[in-house]
Amino acid sequence: GRLYQLAETHPSLAKSIFNKVLTDTKIQDKQFRQTKYRHGLYEYALLHAAQDSLRSTQLLPHHAKTWLRAGDALAELRKLKESAMYYEKAIELDPTLKDRLEPVIERLKRSQEFLDKARGWWSSDTLRLALDVAG
């Protein structure tokens, strides 16, 4: 808005304003592509971490920490129902985790309920983007 008004009131500046906007846009595009690439690497690494942690629950089924780590990885992947189930299993194996994990489980369940309702309004891509932005 403001740059357009400036170019409109001072036509001699229009070309330099346009070039500045074009340069800024190219810089922003490059930053976006770098961020998207890094996010892709993060997601890839996270998938492998989740696979490893899920495998560890099979190898060490009586260790609460394996179930806790699997729940963490699944939560990061936005697998909220599954994450809550793994946290519940961790509590079953180590009741001292109850105070720490019950609020997390409740939050995951509320988030899952919201997502189930929101799927009627928004596409999966839009929801995924909103969750990524919200952190």
DSSP E strands: which ranges in the chain?
none
- Give the pLDDT of residue 133: 64
- Give the pLDDT of residue 134: 63
DSSP for residue 61 = T
Q: 45-55 as b/e, with b when 16 or more CB fall inside 10 Å? A: eeeebbeebbe
**Sign of the dihedral through C-alpha 121, 124, 130, 135:** positive
What's the average pLDDT block by block, 10 residues per block, for the chain (135 residues)? 82 86 87 83 90 96 97 92 97 98 95 84 75 63
Residue 58 tokens, joined: 């099979």
Q: Determine the Cα–Cα distance for residues 92 and 103; give it in Å rounded to an integer.
A: 15
> Would you list the DSSP string of 97-127?
GHHHHHHHHHHHHHHHHHHHHHTTTS-HHHH
* Stated pTM of the model: 0.66
